[in-house]
């Protein structure tokens, strides 16, 4: 158990809809990262937050947004969903003496029908 | 732009048959190289962090090594429970995010 939690585990929705994925980092970690993993693309970095502020952006679509709250949990919002957004979404956190190492949560499997 | 490649794409071993997985990288200033193990449908599980050429880390049947251009994950006398996808990632000195390789899918047959 990495100490990173994600909810929900599974999400099934329709095209055009909007969903919110939630992540709680390890206790004391200030950085949260979001990744997308689809069958044909591997793990793709989306965005990083550090102590509530956006720190780095990867290949995140404009339809996607994220935020980190004062209690350090983070949410990833996906809107105007398309079939191609179906993937596993992982959250990772780092800090608290772990250096640069990122610890991953169990993921949310999103299926868009 | 940072790049990571891994080989082979897939590897089948008999139980007890040792082998090595390769991770080749191109990065403008390596901050760290990371190995993870991922089981199907699960989150990546941290294995090792390597920071400089010549560094080695060991854990049970796994040993990771690092040179200036590549890293190897050596698996000694593997068991079926070592079957998983092994991912390599690099972090450069300029950013916080990781760049992951595509992974090596390892199957260890009893």
Give the model's pLDDT for residue B98: 84
Give the model's pLDDT for residue B93: 82
Q: Measured between CB atoms, which of A50, A90, A101 is closest to B46?
A: A101
Q: Where are the beta strands (DSSP E) in B51-103?
A: 56-59, 62-66, 70-75, 84-92, 99-100
Across the interface, whether the CB atoms of A45 and B98 are under 8 A apart is answered yes
Tell me the backbone φ, ψ of residue B72, rounded to 5 degrees: -120, 140
CA atoms within 13 A on the CB side of A99: 11
Across the interface, whether the CB atoms of B87 and A109 are under 8 A apart is answered no
Checking DSSP bridges between strand A10-13 and strand A108-112, what pairing results, if any? parallel
Residues of A in contact with B100 (CB under 8 A): 42-45
Tell me the backbone φ, ψ of residue B15, rounded to 5 degrees: -55, 130
**pLDDT tens across the length of chain A (113 residues):** 889 999 999 999 999 999 999 999 999 899 999 999 998 778 999 999 999 999 989 889 999 999 999 999 999 999 999 999 999 999 999 987 667 889 999 999 999 99
Q: Which of A32, A82, A24 is nearest to A55 (CA)?
A: A32
Residues of A in contact with B41 (CB under 8 A): 88, 107, 109
Cα dist from B104 to A9, B70, B100, whole Å: 25, 15, 12
């Amino acid at each position: 158990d990495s100490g990173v939690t994600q909810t929900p585990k599974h999400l099934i929705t329709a095209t055009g809809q909007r969903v919110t994925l939630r992540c709680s980092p390890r206790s004391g970690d200030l950085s949260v990262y979001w990744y997308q993993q689809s069958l044909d693309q591997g793990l793709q970095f989306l965005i990083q937050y550090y102590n509530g502020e956006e720190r780095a952006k990867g290949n995140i679509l404009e339809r996607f947004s994220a935020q980190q709250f004062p209690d350090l949990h983070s949410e990833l919002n996906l809107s105007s969903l398309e079939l191609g957004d179906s993937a596993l979404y992982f959250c990772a956190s780092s800090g608290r003496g772990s250096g640069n190492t990122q610890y991953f949560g169990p993921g949310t499997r999103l299926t868009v029908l | 732009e940072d790049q990571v490649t891994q080989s082979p794409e897939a590897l089948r071993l008999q139980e007890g048959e040792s082998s090595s997985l390769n991770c080749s990288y191109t990065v403008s200033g390596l901050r760290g190289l990371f190995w993870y193990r991922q089981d199907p449908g699960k989150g990546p599980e941290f294995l090792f962090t390597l920071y400089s050429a010549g560094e080695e880390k060991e854990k049970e049947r796994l040993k990771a090594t690092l040179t200036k251009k590549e890293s190897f994950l050596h698996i000694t006398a593997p068991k079926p429970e070592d079957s998983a996808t092994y991912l390599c990632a690099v972090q450069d000195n300029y950013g916080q995010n990781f760049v992951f390789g595509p992974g090596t899918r390892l199957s260890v047959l009893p």
